[in-house]
Amino acid sequence: MTWLHTWVGLLVCWVLLLVFFAGTLSYYRHEISLWNQPELHKEVFQSYDTTRLTEQLSQGEDYLRQNAVNAQRWLIEFPTERHPMLSYGWQQPPEPGQRRGAFSEHAVKADNSGYVTEVRESRGGNFFYRLHFDLHYISAITARWIVGFCTMFMLLAIISGIVIHKRIFKDFFSFRPGKGSRSWLDAHNVSSVLALPFHLMITYTGLITLMIIYMPWGILVNYDSDRREFINEARPGSSFTRIAAANEAAPQLPLASFLPKVQQTFAELPLKSVSVINPDDANSRVVVTFNTGEQVTERELFMVFSGTDGELLYSADNDISAAKATHDAMMSLHTARFSGPVLRGLFFLLGLSGCVMIASGTLMWAVKIRQKQQKAISQGAKPSLGLRLVETLNLMFILGLPLGTVAFFYANRLLPASLPGRSQWEVHSFFILLVISGLLAIWRRDKAMWRAQLAALTAALAFLPLLNALTSPANLLSNFAAGQWQLAGFDLLALAFAALGLFAFKRLGRLPMKQTAKAQKLQAVRG
């Protein structure tokens, strides 16, 4: 069992670290996206106001009719907790060869004095969200198979880990720093056991989110190889929204006229968005989506109307089958969309502990193997290839991932807005830094290199709030004063991680190599 745990863990741990790291950041996906669009840091923040819905809808309708000529879809998004602004967006029909048409979005100023129309092109938090299961530079399907394979290994590693850890309750609170590989084992145990329910849940539900890819046979057999039919049946509302345009102009009822019907059915729920598919066409559809707030669900609650005569075509049904409810609960546990600010912070913390678990596990392996080879190494022999490989990858992923992330944020603010393929260059910056970190690790991976990369990371993190202040109309203090917690929180987290980095840097400098367990654990916290 120990053998199984070691090898299923070690084989895929770097991919898993990337997945855990990006997934953890994805809990703050919208917050990161907002930070990455400094044009929206001022004048647009507002909260949901039921009394202004009619006005906002008709204003949006007029605006889109004027500005979004020939659009395939309009999208009016109301302010929510994590998207604190009113915005009017539209999607153009796809160009030949494209799957989806270009999407534009204009945010309404809070005092209604105008619109913010020029926002830099950035993938924001969506990059990390996609990276977390689609990886990058390879096809999404290949990536999902790789991630699924590694996740299965993770599940095996967790279960075998529980079996071989005979002192779960006795060592529950035990962390003995400064004792070499013993401390690594403690760090690995504590980060695993304290968040064990989360690790099990997130790994298992991770497999569930993509189960149709991994195990399609049940569906293929029962639906005669027609996945679309299964999806239509599993998500009854979706077929109504996929209707093609009739290419025949037809007058559309004013959007505000749908409000009374909507409020009759779901009076207590705030609206999240109103979208119009095929606007001003005979086949126009009005889709009203609700904000389900803190309900533990992943389902989109929405109603579909015919835009020309106002007929109700579909209304979400709360009465769902047990299988669907189970699937829904698992999906929502994984994505945690329902979380309020505190629970979201806890999910982030749990995700970090997953990163520590993976990083401390692989660091422990390297420390142990180096100890074993210590005698030969001191007599002049080279460390084995396996050890060099593991040590290089450790440094590359444990410090390279946060370094790349910080580079992504710097690129977001420093690349010129007119650069073609701007959002892609932000992503490239992430990977460039990851590769630089790896190349440096191939060259040297001693304590000095760890410290050098750690110093770079710490400095870059510490200057992030300053960068924000210089390149955004708002800064940490003004966001703090205005109660803009999403933006202030971003800067504060950067500072907190910088403080951790500084602490780890100092520890690494003070202690001889053998006793750096504690400091290296702190580095792992960052990864």
Partner 1 sequence: MIALIALTYLAFGLLAMSMFGHFREAMGRAPKTLESQLLYVSGWLTLLMSLILCVTKYDWGYGSILFFGLMTLAALPVVLQLSYASRSLPKTLILAPVILIAGWFI
State in angstroms the smallest separation of the CB of 201 from partner 1: 8
Nearer to partner 1, 3 or 173 (CB): 173
Nearer to partner 1, 290 or 347 (CB): 347
Nearer to partner 1, 196 or 436 (CB): 196
State in angstroms the smallest separation of the CB of 268 from partner 1: 15
State in angstroms the smallest separation of the CB of 523 from partner 1: 16
Amino acid (1-letter code) at residue 430: F
Q: What is the DSSP letter of 281?
A: B
- Contacts with partner 1 by CB under 8 A lie at 170, 172-177, 190, 194-195, 197-198, 294-296, 329, 333, 338, 342-343, 346-347, 349-350, 353
Q: What are phi and psi of 471, to 5 degrees?
A: -115, 10
Nearer to partner 1, 92 or 291 (CB): 291
Nearer to partner 1, 183 or 275 (CB): 183
State in angstroms the smallest separation of the CB of 41 from partner 1: 28
Tell which residue, 413, 515, 312, has the closest CA to residue 32: 413
Q: How far apart are CA 150 and CA 10, in angstroms?
A: 11
Asked if residues 287 and 274 have their Cβ atoms less than 8 Å apart, the reply is: yes
Q: 3-class DSSP state for residue 356?
A: helix
State in angstroms the smallest separation of the CB of 138 from partner 1: 34
State in angstroms the smallest separation of the CB of 326 from partner 1: 13
Amino acid (1-letter code) at residue 398: I
Host H or E run for residue 346: helix 341-378
> Which two tokens mark 286?
């009005």
Nearer to partner 1, 329 or 459 (CB): 329
Determine the angle formed by the axes of helices 447-471 and 385-414, rounding to 10 degrees.
Answer: 10
Nearer to partner 1, 471 or 515 (CB): 515
State in angstroms the smallest separation of the CB of 336 from partner 1: 8
DSSP states of 45-79: -----GGGHHHHHHHHHHHHHHH-TT-SEEEEE--
Nearer to partner 1, 179 or 261 (CB): 179
Query: Sheet holding 73-77: strands in order across?
Result: 115-116, 103-108, 87-91, 73-77, 271-277, 285-290, 302-306, 312-315
Nearer to partner 1, 352 or 415 (CB): 352
Amino acid (1-letter code) at residue 417: A
State in angstroms the smallest separation of the CB of 297 from partner 1: 9
Q: Which residues pair with 75 in a beta bridge?
A: 89, 275
State in angstroms the smallest separation of the CB of 168 from partner 1: 13
Q: Where are the strands (E) in 236-278, listed by range?
A: 271-277
State in angstroms the smallest separation of the CB of 136 from partner 1: 30
Rounded (5°) CA angle 478-482-483: 115
Q: How far apart are CA 413 and CA 36, in angstroms?
A: 8
State in angstroms the smallest separation of the CB of 508 from partner 1: 17
Q: How far apart are CA 407 and CA 309, in angstroms?
A: 52
Amino acid (1-letter code) at residue 498: A
Nearer to partner 1, 191 or 392 (CB): 191
Amino acid (1-letter code) at residue 300: E
State in angstroms the smallest separation of the CB of 464 from partner 1: 25
Q: How far apart are CA 245 and CA 411, in angstroms?
A: 40
Nearer to partner 1, 48 or 175 (CB): 175
Nearer to partner 1, 175 or 204 (CB): 175
The dihedral built from the CA positions of residue 263, 266, 272 and 277, taken in this order, carries a sign that is negative
Q: 3-class DSSP state for residue 181?
A: helix
State in angstroms the smallest separation of the CB of 250 from partner 1: 43
DSSP states of 391-410: HHHHHHHHHHHHHHHHHHHH
Nearer to partner 1, 198 or 485 (CB): 198
Tell which residue, 129, 147, 135, has the closest CA to residue 431: 135
Alpha helix positions (H), 110-195: 124-134, 140-164, 181-193
